[in-house]
Structure 1
Amino acid sequence: MTHDHRDPSLAECADFLEQIVYFLDNELDEGDCSAVRVHLDQCNPCLEKYDLQRTVKAMVARSCSEAAPDELRERVLLRIRQVQVEIREIP
């Protein structure tokens, strides 16, 4: 694999940084995943930001293993239903 060692533009980096969250969540198609991988191989600043995002995501996942109390879950579900009704009523 040949790497193009040019410096990516700030706009190009901004586009890839936006996609990193989707990349981490496996929400990109294979073509976009390949483009992100290539960019990360070529751009150390973006790779560092990717590593930071991945670390934060892993820490949050480990820290969020508790289930919400039943009363809170019921209040949240009730509010979601209220919002759904309000959205349906908007012409």
Structure 2
Amino acid sequence: MSTVEAKKSCTEARAALEEYLHNELRAEDAADVRAHLATCEECSAEHHVGEMLTAALQGACKDRAPEELRERLLASLRAARDQHS
């Protein structure tokens, strides 16, 4: 594969990486990205970073605010609603 073809493959793989991470690609396209990641160290490293970020964000979305903060926020929202009613 020439350098131009390799760069094009990297460009295409990186453009599809987010959809690949979220399983949003057609099976054919996902297989192409997977094959490229198996042979390209740079894109594989970028994919790994994407996996780590995705996992961190998913974990952060599962966290709940402390109960005291939730109560203060709800009280503030109720007070604002009552002022504008």
TM-score normalized with structure 2 length: 0.66
Within-5 A mapping of 1:11-90: 11-66=8-63
CA–CA distance in 1 between the matches of 2:62 and 2:50? 19
| Unaligned stretches of 5+ residues in structure 1 | 72-91
In structure 1, how many angstroms separate the alpha carbons of the residues matched to 2:64 and 2:25? 29
Deviations 1:22-44 (A, max 9, x none): 01111011101110111011101
Q: Supply the distance in 1 between the matched residues of 2:18 and 2:62 (Cα, whole angstroms).
A: 21
Q: State the structure with bigger RCO (CA 8 A, min sep 6), 1 or 2.
A: 1
Q: Identity over the aligned pairs, expressed in percent?
A: 22
Kindly provide the CA deviation profile for residues 40-88 of structure 1, in whole angstroms up to 9, marking residues without a partner as x: 11101100000000001101110112479776xxxxxxxxxxxxxxxxx
Which protein has the bigger helix share?
2
TM (normalized to structure 1)?
0.62
Runs of 4+ residues deviating >3 angstroms: 66-71
Larger Rg belongs to: 2
Quote the RMSD (CA, aligned, Å): 2.4
State the aligned residue count. Answer: 67
Are 2:20 and 2:30, in contact at CA under 8 Å, matched by a contact in 1? yes
